[in-house]
Amino acid sequence: MADVIKKATRESYGEALAELSSEYPDLIVLDADLAAATKTGIFKKACPERFFDCGIAEANMMGIAAGIASTGKKVFASSFAMFAAGRAFEIVRNSIGYPHLNVKIGATHAGISVGEDGATHQCNEDIALMRTIPGMTIINPADDVEAKAAVKAALDFEGPVYMRFGRLAVPVFNDKETYKFELGKGVQLRDGNDVTIVATGLMVNEALMAADTLAAEGINARVINIHTIKPLDKDIICKAAKETGVIVTAEEHSIIGGLGSAVAETVTECCPVPVVKVGVNDVFGHSGPAVELLKEFGLSAENIVTKVKEAVKLK
Amino acid sequence: MDQTLKKQLEITACKVRMGIIEGVYNAKSGHPGGSLSIADLLTYLYFHKMYVDPKNPKMADRDRFVLSKGHTAPALYSVLAQRGFFEADELKTLRKIGSRLQGHPDMKYIPGVDMSTGSLGQGISAACGMALSGKITADGYKVYAVLGDGEIEEGQVWEAAMFASHNKLDNLVAIVDNNGLQIDGKITEVCSPMPITDKFEAFGWHVITVNGHDFDELEKAFDEAEKISGQPVAIVQKSVKGKGISFMENQVGWHGTAPNAEQYEQAMSELKAQLEKLEG
């Protein structure tokens, strides 16, 4: 593992938009004065005539995207998750969600790994907010390979999609040559029958590391990557609940309303088993280096191992 | 304006007003005041100005209309029915379970509705998006958006205003329905958005003021708007809330109240009298 390549999924997002620009000649990209950070600047460089900066006005940007989509063009609207899902929530609900318009929202800098900017910019609530909008698809890719494939899948999908990308460079663990993205399908990365770890985003790699540690201690953990949080792959979740009897979820998001909640809501209906959640525990973040913050807030392989050991006792 | 055309538009506007009252009365709720203040404007747009086809409501090169002040949906539904997008009888289903005619416009199901609106301040942004899209691919259509004078208290309107002038959206015309009243009272007393014309001018728009109940003036205003290039146009129309029904005119109480049976009869008889006079 010495030569692990690391890359931020926001980079993958910007690169994917640029790479797909000729294949999708009607693709329009919007940003709200953060093109350098969200990496839509890469698209802007490739296709300046199809890039529009809306300035620091996220609410209006979402409405602009809705209007463009209503005329049949494909459109990505980009900002930090805090502003795309948070500030512009009601516009996303009423101008994009309610008319079910074909708008893709590219939300970067999600979660606590924003780092030094601190709590005002660390959005741990976006998945919860977006999940409540009827018909909204939510994708939270785990690495570069998945992120790029997800951008293309979103473009080929008709309807509103919220895509979540990170600022921090994270290990690339998927194989570019063999990887296939299937919208709405969970990916089982490890088999195991003692416990299931259901993870999303940058926590997927942590879950894999946790599974290694647990295996060495005799606990065989199944690992499932959920890149599409909505609609959730209920089959893979319910199967895991039945076969392993306990689930630990892991996400860089509040434990309220995110993946953990979605999984718990699902298993209560098909196979009620204990669901233990690893995530941000109903607190605001604060400034600091991203890697240290992830450790401090328990978003680590170590904490997953601890929680799994507690969880298996609940069986 | 040609006098025969003018008379015809006045007759149609009267029928549009009847449809508004019919809808709101049957719904036992809704917003008659601000619907009546834009009845003449919408009649002018749908019967004289805009390129639309009731038989092909999704026609790609049609002009677009966005009712940013979405609560005045009864006016939009009534004019769409008059124009033939659906049967006028359907107006009686307004706000009822199973009806396409939702309390606020729903583009998914109602033929002729180009954008779902209702949450104030949002329609104008979508209209900007439509106009921008038209510019990108050099489509010839125009986009018309109607805002309330109270609505422009929403900050998003000014984000959109900045965007429209920055991107030189001269295929966009926003009409501000300046009837002077909002739910809590006079706009000048609630949280004044005045002066409206100066604000739009400061945001880089070409501004025209007009009497919203005079078809000659409306014609002149829209003809002027047509000639403007390189900037968006705002038409601030002076109007009367509740226009056309004596006891509703300039009464803030009729912002969001439906008439009872007695008031309905009176309103309809006043409109019938106006119609007879026009057709006489």
Contact B203/A at CB under 8 A: no
Average pLDDT, chain B: 98
Cβ of A62 within 8 Å of Cβ of B136? The answer is no
Cross-chain residue pair B128–A62, CB shorter than 8 Å: no
Cβ contacts of residue A85 below 8 Å, gap of 6+?
Answer: A92, A105, A107, A123, A125, A126, A129, A130, A162
Distance from CA of B199 to the nearest CA of A (A): 18
Summarize pLDDT for B222-232 with one digit per residue, the tens.
999 999 999 99
DSSP string, B125-191: HHHHHHHHHHHHTT----EEEEEETTGGGSHHHHHHHHHHHHTT-TTEEEEEEE-SEETTEEHHHHS
B110 touches chain A (CB under 8 A): no
Q: Give the mean pLDDT per block of 10 residues along chain A (315 residues).
A: 85 98 97 98 98 98 98 98 98 98 98 97 98 98 98 98 98 97 98 98 98 98 98 98 98 98 98 98 98 98 98 96
Dihedral (Cα; B83, B84, B90, B95), 10-degree rounding: -50
Quickly tell me which residue has 């293309």 as its tokens. Answer: A152
pLDDT confidence of residue A2: 53
Could B129 and A70 be called an inter-chain contact, meaning their C-beta atoms sit closer than 8 Å? yes
Does any CB of chain A come closer than 8 Å to the CB of residue B256?
no
Q: Identify whether A251 is a catalytic site residue.
A: no
Q: Is the ipTM of this complex over 0.90?
A: yes
C-alpha distance from residue A277 to each of A112, A232, A253 (Å): 16, 17, 11
CA distance B133 to chain A (A): 5
Do B119 and A95 make contact, defined as CB atoms within 8 angstroms? yes
Smallest CA–CA distance from B107 into chain A, residue: A99
Chain segment B200-221, per-residue pLDDT in tens: 999 999 999 999 999 999 999 9
CB contact under 8 A, B132 and A65: no
User: Chain B residue with minimal CA distance to A97?
Assistant: B116
- Other residues' Cβ atoms within 10 Å of the Cβ of residue A45: 12
Taking CA atoms, B210 is separated from B178, B186, B227, in Å, by 10, 20, 16
Contact B159 A71 (CB under 8 A): no
Quick one: average pLDDT of B168-191?
Answer: 97
- Report yes or no: A89 at the B interface, CB cutoff 8 Å: no
Question: Contact B173/B207 with Cβ under 8 angstroms?
Answer: no
What residues in B contact A25, CB-CB < 8 Å? none
Considering only alpha carbons, which residue of chain A is nearest residue B166?
Answer: A54
Indicate yes or no: CB of B116 within 8 angstroms of CB of A59.
no
Q: Measured between beta carbons, which residues in chain B are less than 8 angstroms from residue A67?
A: 115, 125-133
Pick from A49, A57, A63: which is nearest to B129 by CB? A63
Domain locations in chain B as residue ranges: 3-279
User: How far apart are the C-alpha atoms of A255 and A232, rounded to whole Å?
Assistant: 17
- What is the Cα–Cα distance from A137 to A124, expressed in whole angstroms? 18
What is this structure's pTM? 0.97
Considering only CB atoms, A64 lies closest to which of B108, B119, B132, namely B132
Measured between CB atoms, does B128 come within 8 Å of chain A? Answer: yes
Q: With CB atoms and an 8 Å threshold, state whether A64 touches B125.
A: yes
Report the residue of chain B nearest A101, measured CA to CA: B108
Contact B122 A94 (CB under 8 A): yes
Q: Judge whether B112 is closer than 8 Å to chain A, CB to CB.
A: no
Tokens of B98: 């199973």
Q: Do B125 and A72 touch (CB under 8 A)?
A: no
Closest residue on chain A to B123 (Cα) = A63
Say which of A15, A19, A49, A58 is annotated catalytic. Answer: A58
Decide if A159 touches B, using CB distance below 8 A.
Answer: no
Options 1.20.140.90, 3.10.450.50, 1.20.1630.10, 3.40.50.970; CATH of B3-279: 3.40.50.970
Residue in B126, B136, B159 nearest the CB of A70: B126
User: Hey, of B68, B71, B108, B136, which one would you mutate to test binding to chain A, going by the most A CBs within 10 A of its CB?
Assistant: B136
- Cβ distance B133 to A62 less than 8 Å, yes or no, reads no
Burial of A292 (0-12, 13-18, 19+ CB in 10 A): exposed
Q: Chain A to chain B, count of Cβ pairs less than 8 Å apart?
A: 103
Q: Which of B108, B136, B155 sits opposite A28 (nearest CB)?
A: B136
For residue A262, give the DSSP letter.
H
